[in-house]
Amino acid sequence: MSTKEVSEKGSVTTTDDFNTPEDKKLVRKIDLRLIPILTLLYLLSFLDRSNIGNAKIVGLTEDLGVSPPEYNTALALYFVAYVIFEVPANIILKRFNPQIWLPTLTLFWGIVSVCQGLITDKAGLFGIRFLLGVAEAGLFPGVIYVFSVYYRRHERSWRVAIFFGGAAVAGAFGGVLAYAIGKMDGVGGRRGWEWIFILEGILTVAVALFAYFVVPTWSHKAKFLSPSEKERLFQRLNADSDAALIERFEWVYVRQALTDHLVWAYAFLFHGFAFVLYSLSLFLPTIIAGLGFQSWQAQLMTVPPNSLAAATIWATVWLSSKVNRRAPFIIASAAVAILGYIILLTTKTAAAQYVGVHFAAAGVYTGNALLLSWPGENVSAQTKRAVAVAMQITIGDIGAIAGVLIYRPNLSAHHFRIPHIIAIGYLLFSVLVTIYLYVWMGRENRRRDILASQQKEVDDSSFTPEERQRLGDRHPSYRYVI
């Protein structure tokens, strides 16, 4: 990153102005309050949505009389609910309080998760998966939005990566946990898959109750910061973004999001990556079992690829933050994932195909971690950003619906050969969208730089605060992170 950056408000400031020991101490304090609890909530969210893949290979479908196509339908119903309730959930968050809203969502889906272990037929499975999607819809975009009112733009991607890394950790942790809990088969007259849902749901409920006391509220109301720390926080945010403003909800910002081609591009980018993210995470135990391993081995063998994915996320996003670039790393992640799928398609031995699983997991999870922080860095004003993040998840998860429906039994021949080829197509689509964003935003940054250098840009003092707020990322002094 250069030593100078142009703020959204048109002023020029140096990065060092906000990199003092006191600033670093303030950011560490915010990190310690936000990152652990919010990452834990997302870990539990991903665990509770994906543990059905572990439950499947220990008897869920057989016990409930669920046919393979009906199992795919149950998976899709989760994402249908997720898509429907994503944007409304973030609008509620903008008008409500994250300290209450996020733990309440967690409590709700924890209870629903416990109920997954109490169902007795496929109708119950369909209904409970839809409810789980309703409950979890608001967490991810809500947290991304909360990050945007505590961190400067270039500080967010690394925090989002740590947070999203919880998904990969959930995959690794979930495999071990499912293996251990599965051994409770018969305890209390219940099957092992029932105990997976019940115990992991109880864990979520317990954490949700604790979260009411830990999840922070909006930055201007944060009690864990002293008055002087809040003042410094707002100085940092004001010099970099709109996050320090107390923005009143107005529908004009919703319309701005809905009519911005960049917002739609972020959404389509995630659409491509969501296909591979959720098809891989939900079917990973099945894919590994299909390589010739027993169910208990498949549970444990999900741990290494998910652990590698977590490490790759954190290393790659750290490097991306250092050079302040997103697009090249997203494209590189897609290339690694494509390599993994090619290995799965072209090799004949289980060992080689298991190596392909590692490449696919590392590329898929890392690409998602990078792209999910992108609109939070590049979209302003606040309400527009909240809607943009929710739109990204909503449209992205339509790709997830396609993924769980395409990885169906009649396409499982040759170790899901056709679905893997389709996955490569989705990744290539994401690469094209990334190139579009990179080229357009880079060109726009250069255009605004030329205007500024020729002093044709209107001085920021000529804009009222309301005008600056309404212009958001269209303000002439705004620069995109590419």
CB 331 within 8 A of CB 394: no
How many residues comprise the chain?
482
Distance CA 193, CA 238 (A): 51
Mean pLDDT over 267-285 rounds to 92
- For every residue of 305-332, DSSP letters joined together read HHHHHHHHHHHHHHHHHHHT--HHHHHH
pTM score: 0.82
Mean pLDDT over 416-435 rounds to 96
Mean pLDDT over 354-358 rounds to 94
Q: Give the model's confidence band at 455: pLDDT under 50 very low, under 70 low, under 90 confident, else very high.
A: low
Summarised one tens digit per residue, pLDDT across range 78-89 is: 999 988 888 788
Mean of all residue pLDDT scores within the chain: 87
Share of the chain above pLDDT 70, in %: 90
Neighbours of 389 (CB within 10 A): 31
Q: Give the model's confidence band at 456: pLDDT under 50 very low, under 70 low, under 90 confident, else very high.
A: low
pLDDT at residue 409, rounded to an integer: 79
Mean pLDDT over 74-102 rounds to 87
Q: Which residues pair with 14 in a beta bridge?
A: 4
Residue 150 burial class via C-beta count within 10 angstroms: exposed 0-12, middle 13-18, buried 19 and up? buried
Q: Give the model's confidence band at 16: pLDDT under 50 very low, under 70 low, under 90 confident, else very high.
A: very low
pLDDT at residue 478, rounded to an integer: 83
Distance CA 134, CA 85 (A): 6
pLDDT at residue 467, rounded to an integer: 63
Phi, psi of 5 (to 5 degrees): -140, 145
Which carries the bigger pLDDT value, residue 202 or residue 324?
202
Summarised one tens digit per residue, pLDDT across range 396-408 is: 989 999 999 999 8
Summarised one tens digit per residue, pLDDT across range 168-189 is: 888 888 888 888 898 899 899 9
Going 20 to 25 to 28 to 30, the CA torsion angle's sign is negative
CB 164 within 8 A of CB 369: yes
- The yes-or-no verdict on residue 101 having pLDDT over 70 is yes
| Residue extents of the structural domains in the chain | 12-234+247-474
* CA-closest candidate to residue 60, choices 7, 3, 122: 122
- The yes-or-no verdict on residue 307 having pLDDT over 80 is yes
Mean pLDDT over 102-115 rounds to 96
Mean pLDDT lowest among 46-50, 71-75, 83-87, 237-241: 237-241
Distance CA 26, CA 285 (A): 42
Superfamily of domain 12-234+247-474: MFS general substrate transporter like domains (1.20.1250.20)
- The yes-or-no verdict on residue 15 having pLDDT over 60 is no
pLDDT at residue 425, rounded to an integer: 98
